[in-house]
Amino acid sequence: MIIRVLLADDHAIILDGLASLLERNTDFKIVGRAGDGLSAVRLAAELFPDIVIMDISMPGLNGIEATRRILAANPKRKVIALSMHNDSRYISEALKSGALGYLLKESAFEELIAAVRTVMKGQCYLSASIAGVVIKDYVRRLEKTESGAFSVLTPREREVLQALAEGLSTKEIACSLSVSVKTVETYRSQIMEKLDIHSVAELTKYAIREGLTSL
């Protein structure tokens, strides 16, 4: 199967280098080159490439907006973003625009072939050097938006909730945690208030759903 590739970058030397690398493989065919985002959108519609290798920073229309337009016109098209930026904002916006891959220009020549083959299978590909950036950004966003047990309750409250869900009595929990019965009752009240759940049965369901116990 021949993979039809459209290259988009505003630097001719980058276009030449990418084309030279890809054309070493007999199953790759360069069907067009674009020097700006608007040209990339137009050529994607005219030339029917299987994949577009898209520079993020281009004049007229940036690569992120160009990617959105290309995929809006044909969602089956695949795009790999190419950039000198390893900032999470660029990566996030490129992926949100629909790009299935993100390569840094400094490593593109080494990884490009693998990236194209991976993306053609419908899988995502990220430069190894930015995978950590993506994970950190993902975790940071989760911490801001999550409302689950691990972000709402303190470690001790989670411990008490698990014990309650597993059927331990207040006295048994107090003994296992080396605290007073009154302290356990206070924890239970705090848990119920934070979660807006007011029965042990519902707390048990919640604890199972949140992964605190496998009962």
Q: What local confidence, expressed as pLDDT, does residue 209 receive?
A: 84
Specify the domain boundaries for CATH 3.40.50.2300 within the chain.
3-143
Predicted confidence (pLDDT) per residue in 65-96, tens digit: 999 999 999 999 999 999 888 877 788 889 88
pLDDT band of 26, cuts 50, 70, 90:
confident
Predicted confidence (pLDDT) per residue in 13-25, tens digit: 989 999 998 988 8
Q: Using CB atoms within 10 Å of the CB of residue 147, give its burial: 0 to 12 exposed, 13 to 18 middle, 19+ buried.
A: exposed
Predicted confidence (pLDDT) per residue in 178-214, tens digit: 999 999 999 999 999 999 999 999 999 988 888 888 7
* CATH topology assigned to domain 149-209: Arc Repressor Mutant, subunit A (1.10.10)
Q: Which CATH architecture has domain 3-143?
A: 3-Layer(aba) Sandwich (3.40)
Does the pTM surpass 0.85? The reply is: no
Average pLDDT for 16-36: 92
The answer to whether 118 and 125 are in contact (CB under 8 A) is yes
- Residue 30 to residue 34: CA distance in whole angstroms: 11
User: Which region, left, alpha or beta, applies to residue 138 given φ > 0 means left and ψ of -120 to 50 means alpha?
Assistant: alpha
